[in-house]
Amino acid sequence: MKKFFTILPFLFLIILASQTVAQTSDDHGPGVVIPKRAEFIFPPEYASTVGTAVFTGPLASTARTVQLLLNESLLSPYIGKEIKGLTWRLGPAASANWPTTDQTFLNYDIYLSGSVAPENRSLTFANNVVGTQTLVRTGSLVISAGSFTSGMSPNKFGQVINFTSGYLYTGGHLLIEIRHSGTGGLSTSTDAVGTAITGYGTLFSACWASGAAAVSGSQGNFIITQINIEEAIPVEFTSFTAGVNKNDVTLSWTTATETNNVGFEIERRDEKSAYTKIAFVSGAGTTSEECSYTWEDKLSASGKYYYRLKQIDFSGEFDYSDEIEVLTNVPSNLNLSQNYPNPFNPSTVISYEIPVSGTVILKLYDISGIEIATLVNEVKDPGFYEYILSASDLKLSSGVYFYKLQSGLFTSVKKMVLMK
């Protein structure tokens, strides 16, 4: 490659414009979220439009160091996803596929880390690193013959450089650093955009130098680059079950791992209604340890119910567990239980059971039989019910009281004592 191309500024345009997302599998158990892989382009207008410049940096025959800085505002949709690889495409002037024979880089290292803001980019490479750099790939790299094709506008992206380990993006400015040894063969120019493009120096920036161990360099253009993204599994469920005690349903679930998990919305429906949110349980964030959760739903009526969990991650994305079906017990007889506690102060619980739908009336009387209050007067479905009687709400004095339950031909009376 002519020296003219080796001194061109370097511009790296990461592919972050959403493409089709393909699931790896549909075979999963309750609540398991399947990883999704996709390719993205940034800026979006260059997904189908050629750039304004070219650069040989990542596919040069001699050693290079390249740094690429991205503003966090460009990356917010990708929080909680893993960066798994990247690639480029040939410039618009390419007249043949590249390479003509397999090209081998003896060493091709890629580091990802936090970054300073693009407007604060330094030409000293170490000054642009925030936090600890993660080495996502190292060692030799073979570019297969003809894997970068020409003849289109723009050209197709070439062979993906897959990472040995993914990089989980959790937010903040992003720095991508490439250090390679060169191939000793033929270089090629990749499609890029120049430093005059809107957003350069604010949303993104770059610098580069000759040599794989360079410590400082020059400002560069941004290469139009495809990045492969994989959604990290927010939650891996190992179980989701329900236990029933009369009208009380206890939901239990266990996770093997969690990544950026805000928590779980619990949703319920019966046979006649749609799902509605009834509760929220906070998640463990990110952990590789097993976590167990429980939540109790006190139903007002017996019957068949369905539950599911809506798992939400920090980026706002969510997925649903499989639903589970619960059949609560139906009482065999109409029954009024003794209040508990008794004697009581300041409140007590009156429990009753209804075997069939009908009007239920529950009233309170004083020791002389004078009605004090109607506590319940409505149609009830079959089920187990509780009424919490508050002495302060009814302004009751210490003494003996009676409560009576009526439903159809059934009548039952119990005595209670209030001791202040």
pLDDT tens for 232-244 read 567 888 999 999 8
Work out the average pLDDT over 184-213.
92
Work out the average pLDDT over 341-349.
97
Mark residue 59 as left, alpha or beta (left: phi above 0; alpha: psi -120 to 50; beta: remaining). alpha
Mark residue 84 as left, alpha or beta (left: phi above 0; alpha: psi -120 to 50; beta: remaining). alpha
Work out the average pLDDT over 326-333.
85
Tell me, what's the pLDDT at 381?
A: 87
Give 350-368 pLDDT, tens digit per residue. 999 998 889 999 999 999 9
pLDDT averaged over every residue in the chain = 88
| Class of domain 335-418 as given by CATH | mainly beta
Q: What are phi and psi of 333, to 5 degrees?
A: -140, 155
CATH topology of domain 236-327: Immunoglobulin-like (2.60.40)
AA letter at 382: P
Cα distance between residue 27 and residue 36, in whole Å = 14
Cα distance between residue 116 and residue 175, in whole Å = 8
Cα distance between residue 374 and residue 182, in whole Å = 88
Q: What are phi and psi of 122, to 5 degrees?
A: -110, 155
Tell me, what's the pLDDT at 181?
A: 96
Tell me, what's the pLDDT at 19?
A: 34
Instruction: Find out whether 59 and 163 touch, Cβ atoms under 8 Å.
Output: no
**What confidence tier does 28 reach under pLDDT thresholds 50, 70, 90?**
very low
Cα distance between residue 112 and residue 83, in whole Å = 9
Residue 112 has pLDDT above 80, yes or no: yes
